[in-house]
Amino acid sequence: MNSTVLAAASSGTSNFGWILGFTIGGVVVLVVVALVVPILLLARSIGNEAPKINSALTDAVHNTAPLGALRTTIEYATVIIGGLQRGRARLGG
C-alpha cells in the first residue's frame, strides 16, 4: 500500500512539471506573437507606401536631370564674363 501512495505522488509531480512547462511555453508564444504582430503590420504599411515613394523618387530624378548641365552653363558663363571684362578693359572702363 505504501508503494501505491508513492507512485501516485510521483505521478502527480510529473504531471505538474508538464503542466508548468506547457503554461510557460504558452506564455512565451503569446509574448512573441504580441511583439511580432506590430512589426508585421508596420512592414505591411511600409510595403503599401513603397510604390508611392518610388514614384516620387522617379519624379525627383526627372525634375533634377537638367542640373547635370549646370556645369556646362557655368563654364560658358565664365567664358562670357571673361570676354566682357576684356572688352571693358579695352574700352577703358
pLDDT in tens, 47-87: 999 999 999 999 999 999 888 889 999 999 999 999 999 99
Residue 39's φ and ψ, nearest 5 degrees, are: -65, -45
| Residue 89 identity | A
Q: What is the pLDDT of residue 34?
A: 97
| Residue 7 identity | A
- Which H or E element spans position 8? helix 2-64
Q: Compute the residue count for the chain.
A: 93
**pTM of the full structure:** 0.49
Question: Which grid coordinates belong to 10?
Answer: 510521483
- Which H or E element spans position 38? helix 2-64
